[in-house]
């Protein structure tokens, strides 16, 4: 995109924050990796704005407590609870879901947002790098999906699972073999889980963001690569994390009551 075109489109593509409409009123949601300024944190806020109660988990305990305090101060103590959760640890996953049962008697929505990235050429990638990304991003999503389905089956009141995948599950990018493989696995897991979950009245879908800007991404990505990726987007800009969260709200709400096993692209880039 040329500078002139970007300037002409600037006002038209600038995102407008949508106020809450009570789409998730009275529901309880578990959201992993929800501390900080990324998609998980934005999703927690959007869910609260839509009337949900949230139980947030994150492997970074200090950051998690800060997020809990900030959200509780804005939305009320009864709306927010937190439990440290490293999704590679089954005990911590169970504790997160137990927290939802303890605080609210169960849950209605699960957002599997936890993931681990990194960049390494295949010829230099170590087994530990490969395994670390797969264990957090794919197997962690499996652990939480399993816990969610067990909870939904026990209560018999249905539910929703939304997984955070990535357009790299479809596209190739150098240095991202482990991350792309994990996110493609999340897509396949979403489809298979949806088939099995249907008998419980549970919907399972995923979002696949392309480029959502947040501080962590800025720290682990070079300015040159960010500029290159941004230039490939039709709008000439990154998504805001809350724009991805809006798509997650849609999939969690009754507006998507007949969608299951779907992966929704949240991207303005179409090769």
Residues marked active site are found at 179
- For residue 155, the SS3 value is helix
DSSP tag of 17: P
DSSP string covering 207-254: EEES-B--HHHHHHS-HHHHHHHHHTSTTSSPBPHHHHHHHHHHHHSG
Helices (H), 76-112: 90-104
* Count of Cβ atoms closer than 10 Å to residue 224 Cβ: 8
Pairwise CA distance, residues 120 & 238, whole Å = 23
Q: Which of 178, 187, 84 has the alpha carbon at shortest distance from 135?
A: 178
CA 245 to chain centre: 8
Cα angle 22-43-249, degrees, rounded to a multiple of 5 = 45
């Amino acid at each position: 995109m040329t500078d002139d075109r970007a300037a002409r489109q600037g006002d038209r593509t600038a995102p407008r924050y949508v106020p809450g409409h009570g789409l998730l009123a009275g529901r309880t949601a578990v959201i992993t990796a929800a501390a900080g300024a990324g998609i998980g944190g934005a999703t927690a806020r959007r869910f609260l704005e839509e009337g949900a109660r949230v139980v947030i988990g994150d492997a970074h305990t200090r950051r998690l407590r800060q997020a809990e305090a900030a959200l509780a101060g804005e939305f009320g103590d009864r709306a927010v609870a937190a439990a440290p959760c490293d999704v590679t640890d089954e005990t911590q996953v169970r504790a997160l879901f137990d927290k939802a049962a303890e605080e609210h008697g169960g849950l209605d929505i699960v957002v599997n947002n936890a993931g681990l990235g990194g960049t390494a050429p295949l010829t230099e990638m170590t087994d530990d790098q490969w395994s670390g990304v797969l264990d957090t991003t794919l197997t962690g999503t499996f652990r939480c999906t399993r816990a969610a389905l067990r909870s939904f089956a026990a209560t018999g009141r249905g539910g929703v699972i939304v997984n955070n995948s990535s357009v790299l599950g479809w596209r190739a990018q150098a240095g991202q073999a482990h991350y792309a493989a994990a996110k493609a696995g999340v897509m396949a897991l979403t489809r298979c889980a949806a088939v099995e979950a249907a008998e419980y009245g549970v919907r399972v879908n995923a979002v696949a963001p392309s480029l959502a800007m947040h501080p962590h991404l800025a720290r682990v990505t070079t300015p040159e690569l960010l500029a290159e990726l941004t230039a490939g987007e039709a709008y000439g800009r990154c998504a805001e994390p809350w724009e991805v969260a809006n798509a997650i709200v849609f999939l969690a709400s009754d507006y998507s009551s007949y969608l299951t096993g779907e992966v929704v692209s949240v991207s303005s880039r179409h090769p």
